[in-house]
């Protein structure tokens, strides 16, 4: 029997980050090529900004000539490279995601992560809405078949609030300063454009584990 631990790959996301949404669209292909399943870890981007002194591009790019325009070109290139369609900028950006992120922690505990996750991303970046408006949020998620009241009630539990806070603080303690952030084991990568490096690191770490497993099996 081998004592080698399975490789853990984490995707730290906040629904308010368009680049986290775009990363999610690429991750399934990386999972297929590597055979590794990503762990989706919710974090509160506003909390990370506060703890690190960082800020949203909506604030940090104000008054900077050409940078925002270049980022839009870069995003268009990413969409073409990965064949991503259906993405639309949210006209209400930045959106306060506190309730949405508490909701996804609640959904995880209720076994409803996948449908909730997909529904929120749909209404944030595919058919964009002002998802920090409680009435808009309720109508959108209900229309997507989500039991809004169940998740909303669960998300108000102290344990859920504390869990989101703990995940956010842990992310910062490990070096995160924004979203999307990825960890391949202990190696950190930031930004959607690092996904190629993430995949390379996954394969590199897997290649280090495989010989040890084979050696243990033959012992």
Banded pLDDT at 168 (limits 50, 70, 90): very high
What are 197's two structure tokens? 């490096």
Query: pLDDT, tens digit, for every residue of 94-149?
Result: 899 999 999 999 999 999 999 999 999 999 999 999 999 999 999 999 999 999 99
What mean pLDDT do residues 28-49 have?
97
pLDDT value of position 56 = 72
Per the CB < 8 A criterion, the answer to whether 54 and 177 are in contact is: yes
Q: Which helix (H) or strand (E) holds 159?
A: helix 158-173
Residue whose entry in the numeric block shows the structure tokens 């839009």: 72
pLDDT value of position 99 = 98
Burial of 13 (0-12, 13-18, 19+ CB in 10 A): buried
In the sheet with 9-13, reading across from the earlier edge strand, the strands are 38-42, 9-13, 181-184, 187-190
In this predicted structure, the answer to whether residue 2 has a pLDDT above a threshold of 50 is no
pLDDT value of position 217 = 41
Instruction: Tell me how crowded residue 112 is: count the other CB atoms within 10 A of its CB.
Output: 19
Per the CB < 8 A criterion, the answer to whether 177 and 60 are in contact is: no
pTM: 0.89
Per the CB < 8 A criterion, the answer to whether 154 and 166 are in contact is: no
Q: In whole angstroms, give the CA distance from residue 128 to residue 124.
A: 5
pLDDT value of position 1 = 29
pLDDT value of position 216 = 42
pLDDT value of position 52 = 93
Q: In whole angstroms, give the CA distance from residue 199 to residue 184.
A: 9
Banded pLDDT at 213 (limits 50, 70, 90): very low
In this predicted structure, the answer to whether residue 58 has a pLDDT above a threshold of 90 is no
């Amino acid at each position: 029997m081998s004592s080698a631990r399975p490789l853990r790959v984490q995707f730290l996301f906040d629904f308010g980050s368009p680049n986290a949404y775009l990363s999610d669209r690429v991750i399934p292909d990386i999972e297929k090529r590597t055979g590794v399943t990503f762990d989706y870890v919710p974090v509160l981007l506003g909390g990370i900004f506060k703890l690190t002194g960082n800020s949203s591009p909506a604030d940090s790019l104000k008054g900077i000539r050409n940078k925002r325009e270049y980022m839009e070109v870069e995003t268009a290139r990413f969409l073409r490279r990965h064949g991503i369609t259906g993405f639309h900028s949210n006209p209400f950006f930045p959106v306060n995601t506190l309730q949405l992120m508490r909701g996804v922690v609640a959904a995880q505990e209720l076994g409803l992560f996948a449908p909730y996750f997909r529904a929120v991303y749909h209404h944030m970046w595919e058919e964009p809405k002002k998802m920090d408006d409680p009435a808009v949020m309720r109508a959108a998620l209900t229309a997507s078949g989500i039991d809004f009241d169940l998740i909303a009630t669960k998300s108000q539990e102290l344990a859920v609030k504390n869990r989101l806070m703990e995940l956010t603080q842990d992310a910062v303690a490990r070096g995160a300063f924004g979203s999307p952030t990825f960890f391949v084991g202990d190696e950190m990568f930031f930004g959607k454009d690092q996904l190629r490096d993430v995949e390379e690191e996954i394969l590199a770490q897997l290649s280090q584990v495989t010989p040890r497993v084979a050696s243990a099996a033959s012992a």
